Chain A
Amino acid sequence: MFANFRLSMTWLHTWFGLVLGYVLMACFFFGALSVFDREIDRWAIPDTRFPAQPMPSFDTVLKPIFEKLRAHPDDMEATAERVIGPLPHPDTMPMSSLYAYTTHRDPLLGIGGEFDIPNRPKDPSDDHLHVHGYATIDPRTGAILSDDHLKIGSEFFYPLHYSLHFHWLDLGYWIVGLAAMIMLVALASGVIMHRKLFRELFTFRPNKSTQRSVLDLHNLTGVVALPFHFFFALTGLIIFSSIYLPLSETMLKPLAQRHEILEAERTGLPHEPAGVTAPLASVDAMVLEAKRRWDVRGMPGEVGYLYIDHLGDKNSHVSVFRAGSDQIATVGQGVHFEAATGRVIREDPPPNAVTAVNDYLAGLHLQQFRHWLLRWLYVLGGLAGCACIATGFIFFVEKRKRQHAKVGDGGARIVDALAVTTVTGMVIATSSILIANRLLTTDLPMRGDWEERVFWCAWIVALLHALWRTTPVLRARIAPAWREQCWAIALLAVTAVLLNWITTGDHLVATISQRYWPVAGLDLSLLVTAVIAIAAARSLGRRERAGVGSANGNDDSDMETAHA
């Protein structure tokens, strides 16, 4: 089909990169923001601007809350579609398991539980017959946070980067998975085509330096951060491998189920309830014992994850996992107790080589550990990925727009419009949700849904604006959409910072002097974004005025919109 190996790689890189690049931009950008998801949550929910809390006492704080916890209406709705007959009232559903999870960055605690239902599934192979309940609580008081408060970082940006919030048939996950595969393909093919392309560059003529600086930046951000990009795309696929290659859930289910039973025998942690009721001993005492054992192993620590299975049954067991603040793996060193007596059933041995490698890779992607410098490098790596993809789009347009203008082809213009939407438009949408968060009244019902709507609407407006203001590309000129959206970013970012000040009183002088970095950090980042956007807008304005075919060598700053 292709004349040679290199051409086939070029074709792959260009066309797959173009089509999935738009998705990849969102994955990299919102992935980069997810590095500080909890900090963004603090900005978005001012009532939660207090220091991180350790796991509270189970016996005195959590137990009464779990007694109040009920199946979540959203999951009731989702489960009702999978089962035959109406679901029982949430008050009558027995809770069969529960969990609590926290990290060194969480002032709030995430809790949840599974509730048994008597219904039969519509699909006989569906063995997940539970309804989930979940809540976020203030561990100092035990108060449950209202669902109307959207945790913009951990509930919106974070899931956006792996599911696009597109849950029908899990399609969002599959699109992101495909995009991650294409990222791997683009990196491999990019390396293969790189050398020859670089030589070709010097033979390009009219707009030589624009194209070259774009391509230089594309290669630089792609190659310098290549291990980073490859790692995140690959580990993202591995983390969601049960969705992308659901062997244990489908074809190899018999083997997987046999393993679960064997594993229960080996570890002594019962797989099934005994059907005999039993009380729950003091969980606080179990936590103390777990901490004592971590001390003995020379690794004192806090509880990151607490899990109780077969609640209220004789076979119930309590698992206490250590928070991985000082290690790559998210949680570990589990100690398991018999729930009725508090007797230690088992202490997890160090993981085997395969599990250790997997925990390390997943942990490095999910980065729940305490290392602020590395955290910022993650953000820079993610933004480098955005810059790489954005310059790829711009190179695509720059390379073709003259030819397209000559023959009246609108392709370059469409690509440019979509590039504007995914680069500057995405930042506009992001700033807009922050502004909506500060402007909507606190007691507005379904407030979070409105914030999300503002986000998507702002992005659609950015798309319409981009389609409208890229017509000059048809005449091989620079689209004013880039410059105008840069100004919009500057305006919105500064507005968000000011609104935070006005509505909460937490201005930068206060937050910096109190060293409250979750809020100061986001405010500062917004201001830096505004400065970069203004610089980019001014630079673009100069080049637009200079007219067609201007070839001012130093135009890297245009691309900094990708950093914004």
Chain B
Amino acid sequence: MLTSVRPTHILARITAALLGGYGFTWGCAALSVSGMTAFGMSYEQAHTATMLVAFLIFLCAFLWSFVDTNIVRVWSVLAGGGALMTGLAWWLQRLLIG
């Protein structure tokens, strides 16, 4: 069963898990920090709280990218979601800094 796995598929999964997962985690963390800051929490607290859960989010994203049967969905959620959240976080920061 395992020998039938094609190298390109494996490569797509591994890069999705590592790079996609990282991008998604980055976006999540950035949005979480700027979001909580926007809601009045101090930046330091928002940052600390985010870092406590960020790597667990990475873990879930990582595992999911190997579990989901549809690699296109994996890539679009991780990369697309990551980019979207990063953009939102950037926009929120601009609002906050003024």
Contacts and interface: CB of A to CB of B under 8 A. Distances in A.
A5 B67 contact: yes
Nearest to B58: A181
B45 A355 contact: yes
B92 to A, nearest CB: 9
A535 B54 CA distance: 44
Interface in B24-82: 25-26, 29-30, 33-34, 37, 42-45, 47-49, 51-52, 54-56, 58-59, 62-63, 66-67, 69, 71
Tell me the dominant secondary structure on chain A's binding face: helix
Contacts of A256: 43, 47
B43 A259 contact: yes
Given A181-B59, A245-B25, A252-B30, A11 B43 contact: no
Contact of A245 (B13, B44, B49, B54): B54
A262 B44 CA distance: 11
Given A5-B67, A181-B55, A355-B48, A252 B93 contact: yes
B93 A241 contact: no
Interface string B4-34: 0110011001000010000001100110011
Interface in A173-214: 178, 181, 184-185, 188-189
B29 to A, nearest CB: 5
Nearest to B2: A11
A241 B54 contact: yes
Nearest to A241: B51
B33 A234 contact: no
Contacts of B48: 354-355, 358
B5 A247 contact: no
A524 to B, nearest CB: 37
Contacts of A188: 59, 63
Contact of A259 (B6, B42, B58, B66): B42
A251 interface: yes
Contact of B71 (A1, A251, A361): A1
Given A1-B69, A189-B63, A241-B51, A255 B43 contact: yes
A358 B43 contact: no
A255 B55 contact: no
A68 interface: no
Contacts of B37: 255, 259
Contacts of A10: 2
B43 to A, nearest CB: 4
Contacts, number: 105
Query: Which one of B9, B26, B66 has the highest number of Cβ atoms from chain A below 10 Å of its Cβ?
Result: B66
Contacts of A254: 93, 97
A252 B45 contact: no
Contacts of B71: 1
Interface string A322-353: 00000000000000000000000000000010
B2 A255 contact: no
A258 interface: yes
B28 to A, nearest CB: 10
Contact of A251 (B10, B18, B49, B90): B90
Given A255-B34, A255-B96, A358-B52, A248 B47 contact: yes
A175 to B, nearest CB: 13
Contacts of B67: 5, 8-9
A397 B55 CA distance: 31
Interface string A342-377: 000000000010110110010000000000000000
20 contacts: A1-B69, A1-B71, A2-B66, A8-B66, A9-B67, A181-B62, A185-B62, A185-B63, A189-B63, A238-B51, A241-B55, A245-B25, A247-B26, A247-B29, A251-B30, A251-B93, A254-B93, A262-B42, A358-B51, A358-B52
A-B pairs with the 8 shortest C-beta distances? A259-B43, A241-B51, A237-B55, A354-B49, A8-B66, A354-B45, A1-B9, A358-B48
Interface of A: 1-3, 5, 7-12, 178, 181, 184-185, 188-189, 234, 237-238, 241, 244-245, 247-248, 251-252, 254-256, 258-259, 262-263, 352, 354-355, 357-358, 361
